[in-house]
Amino acid sequence: MTGRRIYSGAPFEAMAGYARAVVDPPYVFVSGTTGFDPETLQFPDDVESQCENCFANIARALAQAGASLNDLVRVRVFVASREEFERIKPIIKRYCDQARPANTTVLAELVEPYMRVEVEATARLTASEQGRP
């Protein structure tokens, strides 16, 4: 198995057989992350709160890998409707503006009807984060 696995403890990972993130220097690959609250495992009703949770959960995984949102090089956003995308654009900008990663946004029917947004991310570890001088 290549790379170190990071798990959030969410039951979705065990159910579908995946890790929240894989650290394979110089990159950290974060799985598609939906807008669940990690403490309650519930999904807020509104897309804005779900989007905030997506980035909070991604930031948590990146921190465990030794990276941050400022190290993002790629994000993919899957959102259920064009209208909801308009509502989350400012949230995406707030979390991505400093790193300015490459971005693809897709209108998509997500796995469950209560899921409104999913974000996948890739970050690049710095030399010191990779354990190199």
Please, are residues 10 and 94 in contact by the beta-carbon 8 Å criterion? no
* pLDDT string in tens for the chain (133-residue length): 788 999 988 888 888 999 999 999 999 999 999 999 988 889 999 999 999 999 999 999 999 999 999 999 999 999 999 999 999 999 999 999 999 999 999 999 999 999 999 999 999 998 655 554 4
pLDDT of the residue at 70 = 98
Is domain 4-124 annotated with CATH 3.40.50.460? no
pLDDT of the residue at 128 = 57
- 36-55 confidence digits (pLDDT tens): 998 888 999 999 999 999 99
Q: What one-character-per-residue DSSP string does 98-131 give?
A: TT--EEEEEE---SSTT--EEEEEEEE--TTTTT
**Rounded Cα gap, residues 55 and 37, in angstroms:** 11
Cis peptide before 133 (omega within 30 of 0): no
**Rounded Cα gap, residues 114 and 41, in angstroms:** 13
**Rounded Cα gap, residues 51 and 94, in angstroms:** 11
pLDDT of the residue at 12 = 83
